[in-house]
Structures are given as C-alpha cells and as structure tokens.
Chains A and B, each alone.
Chain A
Amino acid sequence: MAPRIGVVTFPGSLDDHDALRAVRVAGAEAVALWHGSDSLDGVDAVVLPGGFSYGDYLRCGAIARFAPVMDEVVRAAGEGMPVLGICNGFQILCEAHLLPGALIRNDVRTFVCRDQGLRVESTDTTWTSRFEVGQQIEIVLKNGEGGFVADAETLARLEGEGRVVFRYTGGNPNGSMNDIAGICNERGNVVGLMPHPEHNVDPLTGPTLDGRPIFESVLDFLAARV
C-alpha cells in the first residue's frame, strides 16, 4: 500500500492542490487535511503548503500556527513524523517553534517571483535524501516575506549542525541570512523551505523537475521505516 501523505488546507492556502498533486506524482496517496480538524487521519507524513493562511494577518503563519490541526502536527513531528513546510508552511513551522528563526519581509521590499537557483546543503533529512550534497537545482520562488533571520547563536548552531538544507545561489533574492533557503530540525524530520518544490514536478508547468526528489525522498524514508 502506498504511503499516505497529508496536505493541510488552511483558509488562504493557495498551493495545497499542487502539493497534493506532487505527492501523487511521487507515487504516494495524497490525503487532504483540514486546518480545523484535530486529526491527521492516520497519514505517514504531512505537508504544510504555501499561500497566505488567514490572510497573513498579524504575521505570516502566526494564526495558522494555532489551528486545531497544528496540535497534532506538533505532536507527530515530535514523534519523528516527516513534516515539510513550503513557503507559508515554513513560516508556520517557525511560528510553531518546530523550526528556529523567523521569516521577515524581503529586503528588496517587493514580492519576488522567479526560478531560483539553490544548492542542496544537506541530504540528511527525511525530505532530501534523493539529492546529492552540493547539487545545484532550480525551483520556483515566490514570496513577499522570505528573509530568514535568527540570532547569531541560532545561526551558528544551524550551520554547525548541518541543518541548513538549501541555500540560494546566483544572488540572494530576499536578504536571508547566510543565503538560507531552507532548514531542518535537529532530528531532520521537519524541513521548511521558501521555494516551491511542488511547482517543479511536471514538465508542462515548470522549467525543471527538481522538486520531485523532495517528495520521493520521503517515500524512501517511509519505505525503510516499515
């Protein structure tokens, strides 16, 4: 039986359907989850998709972080379930303290939408094992608040523990400290990134298929676990 990967829809989520599709393209069963539910419906992994949950009111992800389903996401993440936060999902993971730091408004003061070069810095996560360390990939980036910030101590720890997962190449698009595009938690089961791998899974709609390995990596992890 194919692993079941859930995608949470919050009010204002935009990319939940693309994420569900990416999960199916990778060969898993895609399960739509609702922010107001207190159940993860027995899924094996969870994706928090991009968009503007709760209209980005207060701060990006600040209100979504208290959605009923998030209690279960936090609990499951603590037990080692793979959790991926894309863009707004990354912001939610930071607000929920599943990942350190925060995302602030782009230093360029504009919404940035482009095909973005990235370097894979860590393959030691449940979502990046199919990549090679140092691999150059290109994935669409689209956000207004993608500047990763953290205090010096946190930043040093992320770098020292190899928890920077993706780094921007070809120019820093948003002022992220250390060109950070994605990070993971200590255990490597929770990954957040600003670029949108779910948009790069089909030649019809993306210039690369570099998003696919993310969704395939987690299948390897789940297969090895069972």
Chain B
Amino acid sequence: MARVVVDVMPKPEILDPQGKAVTGALGRLGFSGLAVRQGKRFEIEVDGEVTPDTLADIERAAETLLANTVIETYDVRVETEVAGTVDEAAPTAQGGTDHPGHDVDHLNEETGA
C-alpha cells in the first residue's frame, strides 16, 4: 500500500481568514512573529505501486475536485516508507501540469540515508 499526499493551499493573493484567525490566536498565546496560512492535506491510499499513471490520475483528481484552481494551488507527492519511518518524497508537481518521478536524492538528503 502506498500513499500519495495532496496539499491544497489558498493562492498567495487570496485572503485567508482562517489563517488570519489562527495567526491572531497564536499571537495572543505568546507565539510572536508567526504568520499562518491554512490549507488542506489529503492522504490518498493507493493499491499497489504508485505508477506515473496513478500520479496522473491523482493530478486530475486534484485539478477536478480536491482544489478549486480559481483560488487554490495544489501539490501532489508520493509518501514513501523508508527504514520503518514514513517520509515524504519531493513534490512531483506544482499546480499540476507536469509530473516528474519520485526524487530519490532529495529523499535521501532529508532522511540522512
């Protein structure tokens, strides 16, 4: 079982009242200098291996339903299990037209493997 993660964020130019509310609450709690923008994370379980076709399907799902590209951007990436820990591979796409493969070097760098 593999997992693909889709992150959806409001575009930078779009007002994010939820993020502003969280930012305000953090300030009141004493966490100063933090500015929050709030998005959504979708964890998608995939039967078997994640193939380029699977990723293309998920890209289409993100474009069609998970994100409203009028106001949001999305980011699709494969989450891979490495030595018993779960780590996330590099982004496969930004806003979704191209979908390069899984970036192993980037993954190794992050896990120190």
Contacts and interface: CB of A to CB of B under 8 A. Distances in A.
Interface residues of A, number: 21
User: Main secondary structure on chain A at its contact with chain B?
Assistant: loop
Contacts, number: 38
Interface in B1-21: 10, 14-15, 17-18, 20-21
A62 B17 contact: no
B66 interface: yes
B51 interface: no
B110 to A, nearest CB: 30
Interface of B: 10, 14-15, 17-18, 20-21, 65-66, 68, 70-71
Contacts of B14: 104, 149
A106 B10 CA distance: 14
Interface of A: 58-59, 62-63, 66, 94-95, 100-102, 104-109, 147, 149-151, 175
In the complex, the 4 A-B pairs of residues with the closest C-beta atoms, listed nearest first:
A105-B17, A102-B70, A102-B71, A109-B17
Contacts of B71: 102, 104, 149
A106 B65 contact: no
Contacts of A94: 70
A108 B18 CA distance: 10
